[in-house]
Structure 1
Amino acid sequence: MARSLHWELKQTHSPIGFDLEWRPNFIKGTPSNRVACVQLADHSNVIIVQISGMRTLPEMLVEVLQDKRLMKVGVGIAGDVKKLNKDWDVNVENVLDLSTLARECDPYWNEEDRRKAEARKALAAEQAKIGMLAAGPNKAEFMKDPMAAPNSEDLEPTVEQWTGPSIGLARLAARCLSVTLVKNKKTVTSNWERPLTPLQIEYAANDAAVAYDIYQMLNYKKSLNLISFLSPNDA
Structure 2
Amino acid sequence: MSPGTRLLYIRDQATAELEISRLCPGPLGFDMEWKPMRYKGQPANPVALIQLASRNTILLIQVSAMQAFPQKLRDILGDCEYIKAGAGIEGDCRKLWEDYQVVTRNCVDLGLLARNADSARWEGSPYPDPLGLARLCTTYTGFILDKKSFTKRSDWEAELDEKQQNYAANDCHSGLTIYQTLSALMAAT
Q: TM-score, length-normalised on structure 2?
A: 0.86
Is 1:23–2:35 an aligned residue pair?
yes
- Consecutive unaligned residues of structure 1, counting only runs of 5 or more, are 114-161, 226-235
Q: 1:109 corresponds to which letter in structure 2?
A: W
Tell me the residue number matched to 2:70: 58
Q: State the number of aligned residues.
A: 173
Contact preservation (8 Å) 1:21, 1:37: yes
User: What is the deviation of 1:26?
Assistant: 2.8
Q: 2:83 corresponds to which letter in structure 1?
A: M
Larger % of strand: which?
2
The one-character-per-residue Cα deviations of 1:195-235 (angstroms, maximum 9, x if unpaired) are: 1000000000100000000000011111112xxxxxxxxxx
SS in 2 for 1:222: helix
The one-character-per-residue Cα deviations of 1:138-195 (angstroms, maximum 9, x if unpaired) are: xxxxxxxxxxxxxxxxxxxxxxxx3333211111011111111122521011101111
- Within 1, Cα distance between the matches of 2:137 and 2:130? 14
Q: Equivalent residues in 2 for 1:28-107 (5 A)?
A: 28-106=40-118, 107=120
Q: 1:6 corresponds to which letter in structure 2?
A: S
Match of residue 154, structure 2, among 187, 190, 193:
190
Match of residue 109, structure 1, among 112, 122, 136:
122
Tell me the residue number matched to 1:6: 21
Match of residue 169, structure 1, among 133, 137, 147:
133
Larger % of helix: which?
1
Contact preservation (8 Å) 2:20, 2:72: no
User: What is the deviation of 1:14?
Assistant: 1.3
Percent identical pairs in the alignment equals 37
Contact preservation (8 Å) 1:5, 1:45: no
- Within 1, Cα distance between the matches of 2:149 and 2:28? 25
- Within 1, Cα distance between the matches of 2:123 and 2:175? 20
- Within 2, Cα distance between the matches of 1:181 and 1:174? 8
User: What is the deviation of 1:7?
Assistant: 3.2
User: What is the deviation of 1:5?
Assistant: 4.3
Q: TM-score, length-normalised on structure 1?
A: 0.70
